[in-house]
Structure 1
Amino acid sequence: MKRALCLLIALSWSLFAQGLHQTILAVADHSLEDYSTFLNSLTENGYDVTTANVRDEKSQLFQYGERMYDNIILLSSQSKSFGATFSPKAILEFTQAGGNVLFAAGSNLPEGIRELGRQLDIYIGERHSSVVDHFHSVESSNDESVLLDAVSENPYIISDETRQAGSIVYKGNGHYLGTNHRAQPVLRGHPSTYVYNKKSEGKVSEDPWAAGTQLFLVSVFQNDAGERIGFSGSPEMFTNTYLSPNSPSYSAANALFARDLTNWVFQRVAVLKASDMTYGKVGEPYELRNASTYRIKDQMVFSIDIAILNDGQPQPYVADDVQMELVMLDPYYRVNMVPVASDSKTYQHYEAVLTAPDHYGVFTYKIAYNRPGLNPIDEKATFTIRQFYHNEYPRFLPHAYPYYVSCFAVLGAFLIFCGIWLVQIPKASSKKQK
Structure 2
Amino acid sequence: MAKILTLLTILLLNLSHSLSFSPENPTNRRILVLLDDFAIKSSHSLFFDSLLSRNYQLDFKLADDPKLALQRYGQFLYDGLIIFAPYIDQCGVEFDDDPAAMVIDHTSYALSEFEGDHTLIASDSNMNMLQAAVLFQGTGHSVNPSNSHVVQVLSASPSAYLANPLSKLSSAPTFTGPRISLVSVVQARNNARILISGSLKLFSDRFLRSGLQKAGSSTRFDKSGNEQFVTELSKWIFHERGHLKAVNVRHHKTGQTDEPSIYRITDDLEYSVEIYEWSGVNWEPYVADDVQVQFYMMSPYVLKTLSTDKKGLYYTSFKVPDVYGVFQFKVEYQRLGYTSLSLAKQMAGFFVFTLVHLYSK
TM-score scaled by structure 2? 0.81
Once residues 281 and 224 of structure 2 are traced to their aligned partners in structure 1, the CA distance between those partners, rounded to angstroms, is: 23
Seen in structure 2, the aligned counterparts of structure 1 residues 15 and 371 have a Cα distance that, compared at 3 Å, is closer
Report the CA distance shift for 1:180/1:37 in structure 2 as closer, same or farther (over 3 A): same
Retained in 2: the 8 A contact 1:304–1:350? yes
Mapping for residues 139-288 of structure 1, pairs under 5 Å? 139=112, 140-141=114-115, 142-149=117-124, 151-152=125-126, 158=127, 160-162=128-130, 164=131, 166-178=132-144, 179-198=146-165, 201-203=168-170, 206-244=171-209, 251-285=223-257, 288=258
Contact 2:31 2:78 in 1 (8 A): yes
Higher gyration radius (CA): 1
Question: Any conservation in 2 of the 1:320–1:338 contact (CA below 8 Å)?
Answer: yes
1:58–1:37 CA distance, 2 compared to 1 (3 A): farther
Q: Which runs of 5+ in 2 are unaligned?
A: 1-21, 212-220, 350-361
Equivalent pair of 1:27/1:59 in contact (CA under 8 Å): no
Report the Cα distance in structure 2 between the residues aligned to 1:190 and 1:334, rounded to whole angstroms: 42
Q: Which has the higher helix share?
A: 1
Identity of aligned residues (%): 28
Distance in 2 (CA, whole Å) between partners of 1:18 and 1:202 is 49
Q: Secondary structure at the match of 1:263?
A: helix
1:221-274: CA deviation from partner (whole Å, max 9, x where unpaired):
11222121111110111112122589xx98441000010110111111111111
Equivalent residue, structure 1, for 2:26: 18
2:17 aligned partner: none
Q: For residue 336 of structure 2, give the secondary structure of its aligned residue in structure 1.
A: coil
| CA apart distance, 1:55 | 2.2
- For the residue of structure 2 that corresponds to 1:135, the secondary structure is coil
State the AA in 2 paired with 1:73.
I
Distance 1:134 1:189, change over 3 A: same
Q: Distance in 1 between matches of 2:151 and 2:54?
A: 25
Q: 1:135 to 1:198 in 2, by over 3 A?
A: closer
Aligned-partner SS, 2:283? strand
The alignment of Structure 1 onto Structure 2 pairs a total of residues equal to 313
- Give the CA deviation at 1:40: 1.4
Q: Which moved more, 1:219-228 or 1:166-175?
A: 219-228
Work out the CA distance in 2 between the residues paired with 1:250 and 1:216: 26
Partners of 2:222 and 2:74 lie apart in 1 by: 42
Question: Structure 2: how far apart are the matches of 1:133 and 1:251?
Answer: 21
Where 1:161 maps in the other structure, the secondary structure is coil
Q: Give the structure with the higher percent strand.
A: 2
Could you list the structure 1 runs, at least 4 aligned residues long, displaced by more than 6 angstroms after superposition. none
Q: CA deviation at 1:17?
A: 4.7
Is the Cα contact below 8 Å between 2:135 and 2:224 reproduced in 1? no
Matched, 1:124 2:95: yes
Instruction: Give the AA of the match of 2:30.
Output: T
Residues 200 and 361 of structure 1, relative CA distance in 2, 3 Å threshold: farther
CA distance in 2, matches of 1:58, 1:50: 14
Instruction: Report what 2:37 is aligned to.
Output: 30
Q: Is the 8 A contact 2:208 2:225 kept in 1?
A: no
Q: Give the Cα–Cα distance (whole angstroms) in 2 for the partners of residues 367 and 187 of structure 1.
A: 33
Superposed displacement of residue 123, structure 1:
0.8
Instruction: Specify which of 279, 302, 310 is matched with residue 310 of structure 1.
Output: 279
| Secondary structure in structure 2 of the residue aligned to 1:262 | helix
For the Cα contact (< 8 Å) 2:150–2:186, is it kept in 1? yes
Q: Could you say what the CA RMSD is over the residues aligned between the two structures, in angstroms? A: 2.4
